[in-house]
Amino acid sequence: MRHDFAGHGASRGLALGRARVRLPHALEMAEQRVPAAQADAEARRLHEALEAARAEMRALREKLQGALSKEAVEFIDLHALLLDDPELVQALETLVRQERYSAGYALRVQRDRLAAVFEQMDDPYLRSRLDDLDHIIGRINAHLQRREPLPRGTAGEVLVCDNVAPSELAQLQAQGVVAIVSAAGSPLSHSAILARSLHLPLVVGAAEALARINDGDVVMVDGETGEVVVDPDAADLHRYQQREQQDARARRDLERLRSKPTRTRDGVDVALYANAESREDVARAHALGAAGVGLYRTEFLFLQRNELPDEDEQFQVYRDAVLGMSGRPVTFRTLDLGADKADRTGLSLANEDNPALGVRGVRLSLLYDQVFDTQLRAIARAAAYGPVRVLVPMVSCREEVLLVRRRLRRAVAAVKRRGVVVQTPPLGAMIEVPAAAIGVHGLVDAVDFMSIGTNDLVQYLLAVDRNNDALGDLYSPLHPGVLRLLAHVIGAGAQSGTPVAVCGEMAGDTRLAPLLLAMGLREFSLHPASLLELRRAIRECRLDSLRERGGKLLQARDRSAIERWLQEAVSR
């Protein structure tokens, strides 16, 4: 019998399929001990399962390289680290060899011990890491039981689960999953962002899903409104067919925009740049008519190995990106890593209690002179093949920019001595630290351009982890304080003649295009998957009307007033 309920739309799209229900992870393993003579064999079985899980994560990381954005790889790497955590591995070894527990029961015991520690933590972010622990335990147990950790199904399935990890999204899509409904989760989580990049419909926060959907039920999912319909009736199916036809027409209309200018209705041109991390991303950006690459994430080259890439290897990757854009500029962001990941590149940093506020971004680059100089020389060599810009992450003060500029000039001079004809590339700063945004007037004359990283800026400004479900709607780019700070940076750029782009998640959200245009933004940098949709949204805007209403936007006192402003902007 038909019934429906609602969650929160997190990734747009309408899907129809049979439900595959994945119940919350639980290790229902009865106490089991093995004879002393079998302890070694049981320990070997445990280590084989651990190594199989590690190999699985390595293979997944290689497979997803370039297919997903930065956040997916971060989660894969976090899970790989957990697999090597002595608190887990050594304790399991002890439970098997000394307590003579079976491998499966040892896994359950140690999971429960660690879970108790997580649950007692005051920090909600650290408590939320229990999900990562359970994900890894599930992988190990799957190999112990000789079954696939992600059950395979047939095409056209809707996954119904308690939560979904970013690292498994592409796998699920490859298995034929057409949509996901999760009981927990946030529209602003890493998983939601990645689902949007993959165009995979996602509904989160559907608390009733596991109780009201059974395996094999036919389910219709609307990833925009959050509506979930179980056993849809004839009217629902007709609505689905109409939406399918509308979406097909919309896709055809979008394709026609590949060669169209990004120009408002009153004739103002806006530059759309692409975020990229691979040769495939660059090719796609070029094909879609991007003005250039506004953010090339160089850290992916470093995270693919356990040793540092040399200058020639970096140069070849950067050169290929420049050639791929055929004369359009490529902006290389210098190494954006922290202590939580640097050790996997051959760098060694002390553990930090709070890596998000530690040695990362430009701070790490300035600490490791040889690594930074090698990267800058490789970028300078690539500049001989086309226009290149250098973007520095995690800038907090003017002094850091001046240090980097001196190092960049020195790198260019070293390349020139080899006979390469090249000019010093323009240097820009990522504005993602609140101090840099507030003190932007002290930066504008030290840089050639600026790029606002809204993902981190919003997190730091609001003191909210966007992936922490417990904090709900507190993470919002529509907070009045966020908008006023963005307007402050954009205005400072306009006043000084310094180009400003937005390269975070806000740039790819078509609903926010009127808002950013009203504040004076004329450059966006976003995932190629969203480029045509943003071009269409901008072509529907009248800039003169948005400018008239811009003052009212910055006078808003709460999020609801800003949302009303956006609704009025769309209706005009």
Q: From CA 330, how far away is CA 378, in angstroms rounded? A: 14
Give, for 229, the enclosing helix (H) or strand (E): strand 227-230
CA 463 to chain centre: 18
For the record, the structure tokens of 222 come out as 């609307």
For the record, the structure tokens of 132 come out as 């990562």
Q: What residues are labeled active site? A: 190, 503
**How many CB atoms are located within 10 Å of the residue 205 CB?**
20
Q: How far is CA 378 from CA 24, 50, 70, 245, 408, in A?
A: 47, 38, 22, 49, 11
Angle at 459 between CA 298 and CA 10, to 5 degrees: 85
Determine how β-strand 8-11 pairs with β-strand 157-161.
Answer: unpaired
Chain length of the chain: 572
- Short-list 457, 545, 518, 458, CA closest to 270: 518
Q: Are 164 and 510 in contact (CB under 8 A)?
A: no
220 bridge partner residues: 16, 229
* Helix-helix angle 103-119:86-97, to 10 degrees: 140
For the record, the structure tokens of 226 come out as 């959050």
- Short-list 501, 565, 509, CA closest to 533: 509
CA 215 to chain centre: 31
* DSSP 8-state code for residue 329: -
Q: What is the DSSP string of 372-434?
A: HHHHHHHHHHHGGGS-EEEEESS--SHHHHHHHHHHHHHHHHHHHHTT---PPPPEEEEE-SH
Q: Which residue carries 């995270």 as its tokens? A: 303
Q: Are 17 and 158 in contact (CB under 8 A)?
A: yes
Determine how β-strand 14-22 pairs with β-strand 218-222.
Answer: antiparallel
The alpha-helical segments, DSSP class H, found in 256-368 are 279-287, 299-303, 311-324, 339-342, 362-367
Q: From CA 503, how far away is CA 499, in angstroms rounded? A: 13
Q: Order of strands across the sheet with 202-204?
A: 3-6, 227-230, 218-222, 14-22, 157-161, 177-182, 202-204, 8-11
Q: How far is CA 211 from CA 203, 205, 214, in A?
A: 16, 13, 8
- Short-list 99, 131, 82, CA closest to 31: 99
Q: From CA 145, how far away is CA 394, in angstroms rounded? A: 45
